Amino acid sequence: MSDFLKQFLRDDVRKLAPDTGRALFLGAFGKHPGWDDHIEETSLAPDLGLRTQSLVLAKTVLYVHGIGRNIDTGHWEKLEPAQQLAGFNHVYLWAANDQCIVGRLWSSSDGKGRTRYPMGVQAHAAGVSLSWVLSVVVPRMEQLRQECGAISTALEVAQVLGRAREELRGLLPEDGRSVPPITEMLGRFVRHPQFGPGHEGLLRVLYQLQSQVPAYAPGRFNPRAGASALRPQDVRVPAAGHEPGEIFCAWTNLLRSLVDPAAPILFLWPAAEEWLDILIGEPEPDQFFCLRTTPVKFPCASEIPFNLDANFRAQAQGRLDAFVRGETPKVAESKVARLFGSLFKR
């Protein structure tokens, strides 16, 4: 186990933004025609924006170790056509400790025409609500994808990033923690057709999670625990939405009733597709195999016909009904852990 869980999304906001307590950093990585190899800072592009510890860690874990390993091993190339996504076209959210990183990945090439690696842009936000990040920053990531795809030099990339960075910082809200009502959206989420009648698919997702998240449960998660105690977990679920903001918001609210706020959760959504991959803890390189695989290779947990006993079904259904009504009061972490320990008791 590295120091990832002790450091990631734990940046000191007092140092990042000593005056306001609200900060946003934006950077790029990957491949672009303006560079003959991987993007790096040069005299023409002196500031590519990866200026926080968490942004650097995100690039290392996702791009260098994760995507790099799966490219080097040729794992994606061995997939049958029906099992493989044609390329990269992902939106992602990585959240923990009231901080988050949102990003955009897309297929790209370097100046020598090599196309195996993608380009990515990502923003680290601290001291602001997730709802603001999802409604303001995520759409700007899509604009950056389009802008970077239309330019050819490192200087232009640096200029585009600089303008976007200043624009987003100018939009930082005065009340960084305000959160709008989301009850109606959560109701639509639980009733989404992808879950089937009676939320059956969602019950199956919860059933699978019961065996995966105990070490990450509220009040139990310890970032200093050993590797054997904090094995990274992953699950594929229905996206249950069409826009990244509503997808990430709904799944974040549901997962945070199961996973401690300090535990990192990564949501990877291949844009316009019907599934979402969720990685909990410090992802291992092989877990990023999901980036280029379809449900033909890895089905959603909602499609697995678990034998749900009557006690689990009744209690989980009751919790989801309360979730729809917006009855999600914050309680002491230890109580939340006991609550879901009871909910998922076989």
Tens digit of pLDDT at every position of the chain (346 positions): 578 999 999 999 989 999 999 999 999 999 999 999 999 999 989 999 999 999 999 999 999 999 999 999 999 999 999 999 999 999 999 999 999 999 999 999 999 999 999 999 999 999 999 999 999 999 999 999 999 999 999 999 999 999 999 999 999 998 766 556 677 888 899 999 999 998 899 999 999 998 899 999 999 999 988 777 899 999 999 999 999 999 999 999 899 888 999 999 999 999 999 999 999 999 999 999 999 999 999 999 999 999 999 999 998 888 787 777 766 444 344 333 343 344 434 3
Sketch the domain layout of the chain as residue ranges: 4-170, 183-343
Q: What is residue 329's predicted lDDT score, i.e. its pLDDT?
A: 40
Residue for token pair 């997730």: 130
Taking phi over 0 as left and psi of -120 to 50 as alpha, with beta for the rest, 97 belongs to: left
> How many Å apart are CA 135 and CA 146, to the nearest integer?
18
pTM for the whole structure: 0.92
Q: Are 123 and 24 in contact (CB under 8 A)?
A: yes
**Exposed / middle / buried, residue 142 (Cβ in 10 Å: 0-12, 13-18, 19+):** middle
